[in-house]
Structure 1
Amino acid sequence: MVAASKVADLAQNKVVVAGALLLTVTTALDVVRRWRRKGQQPPYPPGSWPFLGHFVTVMRYCWDNSSWALAKWGLELQRSQGFKTHGLNFCGTYIICLSDADLVQEVFEGDPHRFTKNFNDLPLGGDLLEYSFKDGLFTVNTDNPAWQVAHRILISPFSVRGVRGIMPMMCDQADLLIKAMKRDVGYGGTTYIDTWVVKMAFETIAVCGLGTSFGCFENAEINPFVKHLNEVVESLDVLGRWPPFLRRIFCRQRLQSYIDSSASVRRTCMEILQRRKSEEHKESHKDLLDRMLSDADPKTGQKMSEESVVDNLLTFLFAGQDSTAAAMASCLCYLCANPTCKERLLREIDEVVGKDQLSWEHLNELQYLDWCIKETLRLMPPGSLLLRTSTREQVLGGWYVPAKVPIIVNILALHYSEDLWGADVNEFKPERWERGLPHKFAFMPFAHGPRACIGREFTLMEQKVTMVKFFQNFDVERVPGDKAGYTVLKPDGRSPPFLNFDTPLHLHEERVFTLRYCQCPSGRRRPPSWACATTSSCYHGALCRLARRRTGENWWT
């Protein structure tokens, strides 16, 4: 026993000595690295730890939404210390963070020659993509021929002209959404609204883009594919916080779950591909999957490989349901919280569309709806950060930038910049868009340049179609009283979104609404005082009620 105790003590002492030596060496290397840098360096904020760098500091902002942690820290640095450009050390990786619109413009206008997109340079989590999205359009490196071939093949169907042709199919899916909500919930019933907007977004991209229905509107349960896909995204968020060598120690079970879920969704995508290949080809009505299988790159004549098709199938199904659903639900929440804005939007829908079927010409006249969607994307962007990498040693706005250094563009800080948007930047004010953009790079929910979101026109049209159909049938009101399973989050005035109301957060991060017939004797709509919601991408949530929408009557006298 004594001998075993001595051996244990000796081993413990060796671990302590090794840990101390590691901290000493890494601290010395960090000091030498900073000393050897050339030129004027971006400011280096406090809070750097030996070996871990600013990892611990950033983790303090993960309490409510880890995907916004780095962006919120950068926004606080911008507001408290005036840092629009700063460096940071993330577990030994030097990174430059930008929230200066002029420098961001220089980066994106220099893409891909001075700066490029390369997820291999992602400090944490880049290695995980090999199991899931691999070389899809969003995650593939710019210099990879797979991106260039896929981008040139798919740029046409995702153009304004391309998405216009599938608008009738989008309207059909929105009609199915409304029908299913009336059938399964009914006016006065309670439902998780996230479930419905995810079904809408997922079925739309599946049917309109891939010619495949997952039957989401026929089944009250969430489709297993969607569950596995959400598991992949959530696991990426959790596992991406940890360096690879710590991931297998602290997140072993989550890592295995991520690998299994990734394999499952990729297997489903391969089954869709093989089923389409076995079907008789129809030259008319070619959807995205048809184009990926049959079209050739107009520049090189190459076709997309099966592996590339699967990568992009998975990318489209994820992006089509996650960011689009979050944007639609968030827009509903902001409209509930701002009844004056909601009333103006409903009046516009009544005047432009009324009870008629929605057409392409109507969309051009729904100006206030366009403003509401843009304002939602400003306050709740689908992504808080963008990654680029410097291709060579250079100077950016007077700051020295080494080669192969990750450049993180803080979209959240740009969208919440008082210098760009004014003192009321925290408020939901669609009217601000009447003046246009204050700076070309002040608004970046879809990025810019050659790597801008290819599905921008698709998601914007889907959001507009869904919102019109929704408000042709429903109105939204606050649900009085408390609801089991919720906790109220008071706005702290520090962390975005800067909500102007208390936020009931559901334990499972799902929005709850109630469908209700409005019993107002005067026949006028009773405006709600607030409402909001939660989602995996956003995190604000609230309890509100969906009342019957009586179109064709004058509500506003």
Structure 2
Amino acid sequence: MLCLSCSLSTPMSVPIPQPPTLPFLGNVTALDPELPLHSFMLLAKTYGEIYQLDLLGRTICVVNSYALVNEVSDETRFQKRAVGPIKQVRNLVGDGLFTAQPEEPNWGIAHRLLMPAFGTLAVKGMMEEMRDITSQLILKWARFGPDTIIDPSKDFTRVALDTIASCSMSHRLNSFYEAQQPEFTVAMADFLTESGFRANRPAIVQAIMSKTNAKYEADMKKMRDLAKRIVATRKAHPIPKHDLLDTMLNSRDPKTGKTMSAESIAQNLLTFLIAGHETSSGMMTFMVYYLLKNPDEMRKLQAEIDDVLGGRAVQYEDFGKLAYLTATMRETLRLAPTAPIRVTTPLEDTTLGNGRYAIKKGAIISVQAWPMHRDPAVWGDDAEEFRPQRMMDGKFEALPPNAWQPFGFGVRACIGRAFAWQEVTLVMATIIQNFDLTLVDPGYTLQIKQTLTVKPKGLKIRATPRSGVNLYASYGVGSGLRTRQLPSIVEDVSGPPMYVFYGSNTGTSEAFAQRIAGEAASYGFRASIGTLDSAMGKLVPDGPLVIITASFEGQPADNATAFMDWLRTMIKPGQFNGVRYAVFGCGNSDWVASFQRIPTLYDQLLEQGGATRLVARGVGDAGGSTLFQAFEKWNVGLWETLVEPSLAHFFLGV
């Protein structure tokens, strides 16, 4: 059956498959209301890479293969749309970061304001608080003993909720000191489940479900009350910490000059409390399941952790050395992305699959991560197997673009990705270092509980402290980015200028730029610092030019877009003769297609214009833990080059 509300007919197109329908109901009965993911997986096996469903008159097109998901990941043709269950969640969080429609201005304001709060540098500074919450989980398991049956999903919910509240809002929920699950998480789970049901319920039926509606409103009130309490506490007792909540309350959008409204603050606070713990707790629970069902992988991971840590507490600097842990996390998210569905819509009438499937402008396209992450065309015939090795030794970096999408995609991808990655790395490394885990039921097979996210259902484990491990040792805090003792090469700070410009959305590139500008006087330079957009027309040869910038989905930072346009139009041979420059690029290698695109382009354009490169372009990767070490090494090389006799004479006259 062809449903014209989703598809077009073109000379080259073929009908999009659809299951048989029922009068008035369409394909509603094809989806299990308790576990729609299971139904979507079965339908994918039956109908292949694409099919469509009529859900009470609302038609959705479902794509499952890598080829089609890659195609709808083109943001010049498709954009995110909040529909179905996500639209129902707007009853609580309105136009928050996760649920806003593309045309709503509050999303842009919140996104620009809050990106720096979850940048790599800001998240690195949260290690101490993350470790504190992690220690509460470790000590609970140790004190309850090896005979205690543990529901890891519940304890991971506690650790993730307390972590996001403490790190981003400086608010203590103290979930580990309560016998029951936190009231917020119970209300949230019921609210999300009911939101899913409401999306496929006729309005007339919904209207007469008075008890269900009353429970729904009560759950929302409980969550709103917590948000109000957190904001009221901060206003009554301000703190000097510049965290997420402080940003929402006191900062202005750099583009519009607007502040976040009280309503938007409450909505986004709830968004982070929900999204900031639900997906992380699910990921950790799935990871425990896959490791316990694959004991060889658990042994390899435990051996790596023992070898790297040697019995001490994990530090941030260790993350980049835990290659098997990183691979295990990536493989867990391949097989079990906790946010299994995203929705997009075409901006114009278009086709998919080399013209095979014609799609109308505005059609609802459901992108299914679970079947896409199992596509044999990308992952091979063993795609159903848990095999972390497929993510190691350059294989992850060699994946085709958009083949791994557990954090969503594009400009609307998860803003808290770095936060979640650091949190899960810390928690799982600490657990596996300190405990031997076993299944209560060795025959347990994976069952799933679904709200808007998914997590294992009914998984029970025991945690036995490992021999020789001191679980009561203090949990030290890793050192931060240390400032080197700088030589006072030239005390006179009336020397030549140095121009330091940055392009930064998350704050990391800006912090590195400030570091260089702050050191300049010790080397005899008078540094000025500004955004790249402020650099237009200021590329002059009387002092070194330093650019620190990143790519954001392959595009310049918000405060570097105009400079990129200017540079491209200005570039011609000899345009920048005499300019000496250095570029350091920040980025995340998980985004293979766009990694270092903008820093590389700046480097190439300046060279094409006749400028002289001082040092090789620096490459900082926030996908591991080597970003800060890479900057340190590049920064040392930059200053060594600038004080090298020939350049020192050129710039400093010494």
Does residue 1:503 correspond to 2:445, yes or no? yes
Within the candidate set 81, 86, 111, 1:118 is matched to 81
Q: What do residues 286-334 of structure 1 show as CA deviations (whole Å, max 9, x unaligned)?
A: 1111111112211111111111111111111111221111111111111
Give the counterpart letter for 1:503 in structure 2: T
Please tell me whether the aligned partners of residues 130 and 163 of structure 2 are also in contact (alpha carbons under 8 angstroms): yes
Unaligned runs of 5+ in 2: 471-654
2:224 partner amino acid: R
Among the aligned pairs, what percent are the same residue? 29
Unaligned runs of 5+ in 1: 1-26, 482-500, 511-533
Distance 2:413 2:37 in 1: 20
Q: Taking structure 1 as reference, are residues 36 and 336 closer, same or farther at Cα in structure 2, changes over 3 Å only?
A: closer
Does residue 287 in structure 1 map to residue 210 in structure 2?
Answer: no
Helix, strand or coil for the counterpart of 1:400?
Answer: strand
Q: Deviations over 1:9-44 (max 9, x none)?
A: xxxxxxxxxxxxxxxxxx9xx877689855625422
**C-alpha distance in 1 between matches for 2:454 and 2:99:** 18
Aligned AA (2:362): K
Aligned to 2:22: 49
Is the contact between residue 201 and residue 320 of structure 1 (CA under 8 Å) also seen in structure 2?
yes
TM-score, scaled to structure 2: 0.66
Name the CA distance, whole Å, in 2 between partners of 1:129 and 1:328: 24
SS in 1 for 2:288: helix
Q: Does 1:66 align with 2:35?
A: yes
Which residue of 453, 459, 464 corresponds with 1:542?
459
1:127-138 superposed matches below 5 A: 127-138=87-98
Q: Does the 8 A contact of 1:125 with 1:236 survive in 2?
A: yes
Q: Does 1:327 align with 2:283?
A: yes
Which structure has the bigger radius of gyration? Answer: 2
Q: Determine whether 1:170 maps to 2:130.
A: yes
Q: Distance in 2 between matches of 1:225 and 1:36?
A: 45
**Take 1:295 and 1:535, find their aligned partners in 2: how far apart are those partners?**
31
Change (3 A) 1:366 1:260: same
The CA distance in 2 between the partners of 1:371 and 1:33, in whole Å, is 42
Give the corresponding residue for 1:91: 56
1:169 aligned partner, one-letter code: E
User: Which residue in the other structure is 1:433 paired with?
Assistant: 391
Q: Shift of residue 421 of structure 1?
A: 0.7
Q: Is the 8 A contact 1:239 1:254 kept in 2?
A: no
Amino acid at match of 1:211: S
Higher alpha-carbon deviation: 124-133 or 319-328: 124-133
Q: Partners in 2 of 1:213 and 1:126 — Cα distance?
A: 28
Output one character per residue of 1:419-474: Cα deviation in whole Å (capped at 9) or x when no partner: 21111111111111122253222211101210011111111111110011112221
Maintained 8 Å contact 2:369/2:405: yes
Q: Quote the residue 2:302 is aligned against.
A: 346
The residue that corresponds to 2:317 in the other structure is 361
What residue identity is the alignment partner of 2:188?
L
1:166, distance to aligned residue in structure 2 (A): 0.8
Give a deviation string over 1:345-375, Cα, whole Å, max 9, x none.
0001101112212211101100101111111
In 1, Cα distance between the equivalents of 2:381 and 2:7? Answer: 39
Rate the CA distance shift 1:287–1:31 in 2: closer, same or farther, 3 A: closer
Relative to structure 2, which stretch is displaced further, 469-478 or 389-398? 389-398
The Cα shift of 1:551 comes to 5.1
Instruction: Measure the CA separation in 1 of the matches of 2:128 and 2:314.
Output: 9
Q: Scaled by the length of structure 1, what TM-score is found?
A: 0.77
Instruction: State the secondary structure of the residue aligned to 1:43.
Output: coil
Indicate the SS of the match to 2:116.
coil
Correspondence list, 1:237-316, <5 A: 237-249=196-208, 251-282=209-240, 285-316=241-272
Q: In terms of mean alpha carbon deviation, does 325-334 or 217-226 score higher?
A: 217-226
Other structure's SS at 1:189 match: coil
| Counterpart for residue 416 of structure 2 | 455
1:3 maps to none
Aligned length: 464
Q: Which residue of 2 aligns with 1:520?
A: none
Aligned residue for 1:231? 190
Q: 2:515 corresponds to which residue?
A: none
Amino acid at match of 1:139: T
* Paired residue type of 1:203: D
Residue 409 of structure 1 aligns with an amino acid whose one-letter code is V
Distance (whole Å) between structure 1 residues aligned to residue 321 and residue 8 of structure 2: 58
Measured after TM superposition, the shift of residue 505 of structure 1 is 6.5
Task: Go from structure 1 to structure 2 and tell me whether the alpha carbon gap of 1:298 and 1:49 turns closer, same or farther (over 3 Å shift).
Answer: same
Quote the offset at 1:180 in angstroms: 2.5
Q: Which residue of 1 aligns with 2:334?
A: 378
Distance 1:356 1:87, change over 3 A: same
